[in-house]
Structure 1
Amino acid sequence: MTRIDLNCDLGESFGAWRMGEDSALLDVVSSANLACGFHAGDFMTMLQTVAAAMERGVAIGAHVSLPDLQGFGRREIRVTPAEVHAMTLYQLGALHGFARAAGTRLSHVKPHGALYNMAARDRALADAIAAAVCQFDPRLRLFGLGGSALVDAGAALGLVVVAEAFADRRYRADGTLQPRSEAGAVIDDAELATAQALQIALNGAVTATDGSTIGMHADTLCLHGDGVHAVRLARSLRSGLEAAGVRIAAPGEA
C-alpha cells in the first residue's frame, strides 16, 4: 500500500490575532508544524496546540522561521548562516519546552516561508539549519523540498530527511515553487489540489506551470492552514488519497 504523510502549518495565532481552524485541521492531518513565535504563534498558542495535537495522536514538529511577525515570515531577510543556526536552536528550544512539559517530544523540524525557500537553494543556510537540528536532537526528522539543498544538508549529517511536496502550490518546470507574488501560485480549489496530491502520491510526478510533467518524489504532502478554505481542502485531500488506497501516516509511524 502506498503511504504518505499529510502535514499542515498550525499554531499561527498570537495575542488577539486568530489564524486558521487548528482544531478541525488536526482531525485530518498526520503531522503538524507548529509556529515557534518568530513568524507567528505565542506561548499560549504553543501550549494549547501541543496539547491538541497530542490528543489526536498527530506528530508535532517545529516550524522555524525568520524573525518576521509583520511579514508572516514570508519576506526574505539577509541573514548569516550563524544567525540561522542560532535562531533555529532558539525556536527548537521554545517548542521543546512545551512538548516536554506535556509528556511528549518533537518529531520533526520544518522551516517556514522565506527561510524554507532560502534554505532550499542556499547550501550554507541549509547546512546551518541541519547542524542546529543535529546538535539539538539527531532523532528529529528534517522536512524539506524534495531535491533541495536542505534535504541534501540533512542527509549529509545523517538526519532522517523527509522529502516534501505541496498539494496547494504550483510548481515551475525546474521543480521550484511558483512565487506567491504570481497569480495562481496557490491552489485554493479542493478538487484541483486533490488531483495534484494524487498525481504526486501515485505517479511521483506533478504538472508544472508550463504544462510539462516533472518528477516529484514526496514522503509528505503539505497544505497550508492559513487559507480560507483550508479545512475543506484538507478533508478533500485525505478522503481522495484514502479512496485511492493511500495510507495517511506520520513518518516513522508503524
Structure 2
Amino acid sequence: MNALDKFRLDDEVVLVTGAASGIGKAISEACADAGARLALADKDVEGVETVAEEVDAETLAIPADVSDHDQVVAMVEETVEEFGGLDVTFANAGIGRLGATVDDYDIDQWHQVMDVNLDGVFYTIREAAAVMEEGGRIVTTASVLSQIASDFPGVAAYVASKGGVAQLTKQAAADLGPQGIRVNAIAPGWVHTGIGGGAFRKDSGMDHLHEQMEEETIMGRLGEPEDLKGVALFLASEASAYCTGSVLTVDGGWTTT
C-alpha cells in the first residue's frame, strides 16, 4: 500500500461529536476529504445540519447532547442503523467555562463542565466500543492543559476534565486493546475556537490575551482548527496502526518552553 493511501478512510463510517464548529467541524471536513461516510453530532442542531450539508460526503446529522447518556446511546444506534456499522469515533464535544480560582469555583459550573467534557467522552467511548468490530478506532480531544496547570484564571474544571480525558483514553486503550480497538487522544494547545466562552475567537476583543499566548508559543501564533486535520486523519486511519494509548500534543511548541 502506498504510504499516503494509509490515511484514506474510503467508505468507513466516522462519528464526530461536537461537529457543528471549531475542531469538530475541521475533523469532519478532513474525514470527508479522506472518503468517509459521516455521522455528525452536536446539540447545536442548526450548526451541525449546516456542516452536514457543506462537506462533500454522505452524511447524517444527529442532534445530541453528550452529557445525556440516553442521547449518546441513541446517537450511536442511529449511526449504526443508517450506515450499518461504526469504524471510527471522535469523542470531541467539549465546553470551556471561565470561572473563579479553585477555592471559589462555582459548584454548578464545575458539574456542567465535567458532565460534557469527561462524562460525555466516557459515554461516547462506552457506547461506540460496544458496536465496533476489530480494527475500530476511537479518538478523544484532550488538551495541553491535561498535562500542565495554567496561569490563565478560572480554568480549574476545564483542566481537571481534560486531565481525566487523557487518562481515560489510556485506560480505554488498555481495556479495548484485546478487542482490536485502538484509542488515542489529540491534545491541542491554544486554538481559535468558541471554547472558554469565546475567549479564543479572533473577534473576542481579547487581543492582549492572544498576544501573550503567541509570545509564549514557539511558532508565534495561536492554532487554527485546520491545524488539527492532519493529526485527526493520522489517528483515525491505518497510518497510525501501531499507536494506541497515545496523547499527541499539537500546540505550536507552547509546552516546549
Which structure shows the bigger proportion of residues in strand conformation? Answer: 1
Which structure shows the bigger proportion of residues in helix conformation? Answer: 2
| TM-score normalized with structure 2 length | 0.38
Where relative contact order (Cα < 8 A, 6+ residues apart) is larger, the structure is 1
| TM-score normalized with structure 1 length | 0.39
